[in-house]
Amino acid sequence: MISASERKPPCLTFRICASCKGTCERSVSPGIAVHTVLMKGPQMATLNDVTSADRVHIGFFGVRNAGKSSLINAVTGQDLAVVSNVAGTTTDPVRKAMELLPAGPVLIVDTPGIDDIGELGEMRVRKAKRVLDSTDVAVLAVDATRGMMLADRELVALFEEKQIPYVIALAKCDLETNADGSEVAATLDLTSGRVVRTSSETGEGIHELKETIAQLAKSPVAEHRIVGDLLEVGDVVVLVVPIDESAPKGRLILPQQNTIRDILDAGAFALVTKETELEQALSRLAAPPRMVITDSQAFGIVAQIVPESVPLTSFSILMARHRGTLDAQVDGADELDRMKERHDVDPDAQPPHILIAEACTHHRQCNDIGTVKLPRMVGNYTGMTPTFDFVSGNEFPEDLGGYDLILHCGGCMVNDREMAWRARHAASQGVALTNYGVAIAKMKGILDRSLAPLHS
Ligand X SMILES: Nc1nc2c(ncn2[C@@H]2O[C@H](COP(=O)(O)OP(=O)(O)OP(=O)(O)O)[C@@H](O)[C@H]2O)c(=O)[nH]1
Question: Which residues contact ligand X by CB under 6 A?
Answer: 62, 64-70, 83-85, 87-90, 112-113, 141, 171-172, 174-175, 199-201
Distances (CA, A) of 88 to 60, 238, 379: 14, 53, 46
The partner in contact with residue 453, picked from Mg ion, ligand X, none with C-beta cut-offs of 5 to 8 angstroms by kind, is none
Sketch the per residue contact string, 127 through 166, with Mg ion: x for CB under 5 A, - otherwise: ----------------------------------------
143, β-bridge pairs: 171
Nearer to ligand X, 49 or 174 (CB): 174
C-alpha–C-alpha distance, residues 112 and 121, integer Å:
9
The partner in contact with residue 64, picked from Mg ion, ligand X, none with C-beta cut-offs of 5 to 8 angstroms by kind, is ligand X
- 383-419: string of b/e by CB count within 10 Å (b at 16+)? ebebbbbbbbbbbbbeebeebbbbbbbbbbbbbbbbb
Nearer to Mg ion, 69 or 256 (CB): 69
Among positions 85-114, residues that touch Mg ion (CB under 5 A) are 89-90
C-alpha–C-alpha distance, residues 58 and 106, integer Å:
7
Q: Are 323 and 416 in contact (CB under 8 A)?
A: yes
Nearer to ligand X, 198 or 297 (CB): 198
Nearer to ligand X, 52 or 70 (CB): 70
Q: How far is the CB of 417 from Mg ion (least distance, A)?
A: 23
Which residues make Cβ contacts (< 8 Å) with residue 117, sequence separation at least 6? none
Q: How far is the CB of 1 from ligand X (least distance, A)?
A: 27
Q: How far is the CB of 109 from ligand X (least distance, A)?
A: 12
The partner in contact with residue 113, picked from ligand X, Mg ion, none with C-beta cut-offs of 5 to 8 angstroms by kind, is ligand X
Q: Are 198 and 71 in contact (CB under 8 A)?
A: yes
Q: Are 357 and 392 in contact (CB under 8 A)?
A: yes
For CA atoms 362, 368, 369, 372, give the dihedral sign: positive
Among positions 68-87, residues that touch Mg ion (CB under 5 A) are 69
Q: How far is the CB of 81 from Mg ion (least distance, A)?
A: 6
Q: How far is the CB of 121 from ligand X (least distance, A)?
A: 11
Pick from 387, 439, 399, 340: nearest CA to 126 = 399
Q: How far is the CB of 112 from Mg ion (least distance, A)?
A: 7
Nearer to ligand X, 68 or 417 (CB): 68
Q: How far is the CB of 122 from ligand X (least distance, A)?
A: 15
C-alpha–C-alpha distance, residues 230 and 292, integer Å:
12
Nearer to ligand X, 140 or 266 (CB): 140
Q: What distance, in Å, lies between the first and last C-alpha atoms of the chain?
A: 44
Nearer to ligand X, 66 or 260 (CB): 66
C-alpha–C-alpha distance, residues 20 and 8, integer Å:
7
Which residues make Cβ contacts (< 8 Å) with residue 285, sequence separation at least 6? 236, 238, 271
The partner in contact with residue 52, picked from Mg ion, ligand X, none with C-beta cut-offs of 5 to 8 angstroms by kind, is none
Q: How far is the CB of 195 from ligand X (least distance, A)?
A: 15
C-alpha–C-alpha distance, residues 17 and 25, integer Å:
12
Nearer to ligand X, 172 or 290 (CB): 172
- 200 is a contact residue toward Mg ion (CB under 5 A): no
Interface with Mg ion by CB under 5 A: which residues?
69, 89-90
